[in-house]
């Protein structure tokens, strides 16, 4: 089940990586947490996905692993060249909640895409999707997350 709502833009800081998501997302979060800890930053965590894994070769998939920051946040002088300040776009999103076990993130996303398709009232825009982590499953293997997919109403 999903809901559709307008979501405000969010300022985030993090890393942009290219390659198979099952490798780049954990690598990116490891980098992000190390960087954030060294700069005493804490905030909500997001993974942003660019491209369709059914179409784009795995080595060309792109993602951002990011942390929410305040609107007035400025990168520290010693931030490093790889860290980026970005904005998650304001948009209309289909939003689904999922509990992911055994790293079955792909299956959770497929379920949400299938639900949107079956609903018939919305179409995908092709803009980046993202997930917001509601719990840290790095120890337990169980993740609670919110998945957001940009959509627009179907024009009849």
pLDDT value of residue 126: 94
Domain with 65 in it: what CATH number?
A: 3.20.80.10
pTM, rounded to two decimals: 0.94
pLDDT value of residue 81: 81
pLDDT value of residue 56: 95
Q: What total of structural domains would you count in the chain?
A: 1
Q: How confident is the model at residue 90 (pLDDT cuts 50, 70, 90)?
A: very high
Arithmetic mean of pLDDT over the chain: 95
Q: 156 pLDDT exceeds 80?
A: no
Provide mean pLDDT across the span 2-19.
Answer: 97
Q: How confident is the model at residue 138 (pLDDT cuts 50, 70, 90)?
A: confident
pLDDT value of residue 79: 79
pLDDT value of residue 91: 98
pLDDT value of residue 43: 95
Provide mean pLDDT across the span 91-102.
Answer: 96
- 90: containing domain: 2-153
Provide mean pLDDT across the span 112-125.
Answer: 96
Q: 110 pLDDT exceeds 80?
A: yes
DSSP string, the chain: -EEEEEE--EEEEEEEEES-HHHHHHHHHHHHHHHHHHTT----EEEEEES-TTTS-GGG-EEEEEEE--TT----TT--SS-EEEEEPPEEEEEEEEEEETT-HHHHHHHHHHHHHHH-SEEE--PPEEEEESS--TTTSEEEEEEEEEEEEPP-
pLDDT value of residue 77: 83
Provide mean pLDDT across the span 41-57.
Answer: 95
Provide mean pLDDT across the span 51-79.
Answer: 93
């Amino acid at each position: 089940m999903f809901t559709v709502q307008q979501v405000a833009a969010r300022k985030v800081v993090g890393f942009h990586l290219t390659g198979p998501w099952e490798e780049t997302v954990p690598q990116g979060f490891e980098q992000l947490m190390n960087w954030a800890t060294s700069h005493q930053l804490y905030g909500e965590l997001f993974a942003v996905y660019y491209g369709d894994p059914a179409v784009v070769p795995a080595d060309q998939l792109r993602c951002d692993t990011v942390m929410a920051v305040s609107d007035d946040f400025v990168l520290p002088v010693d931030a490093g060249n790889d860290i980026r300040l970005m904005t998650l776009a304001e948009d209309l999103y289909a939003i689904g909640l999922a509990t992911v076990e055994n790293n079955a993130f792909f299956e959770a996303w497929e379920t949400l895409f299938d639900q949107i398709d079956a609903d018939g009232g919305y179409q995908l825009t092709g803009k980046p999707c993202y997930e917001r982590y509601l719990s840290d499953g790095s120890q337990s293997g169980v993740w609670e997350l919110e998945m957001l997919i940009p959509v627009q109403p179907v024009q009849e």
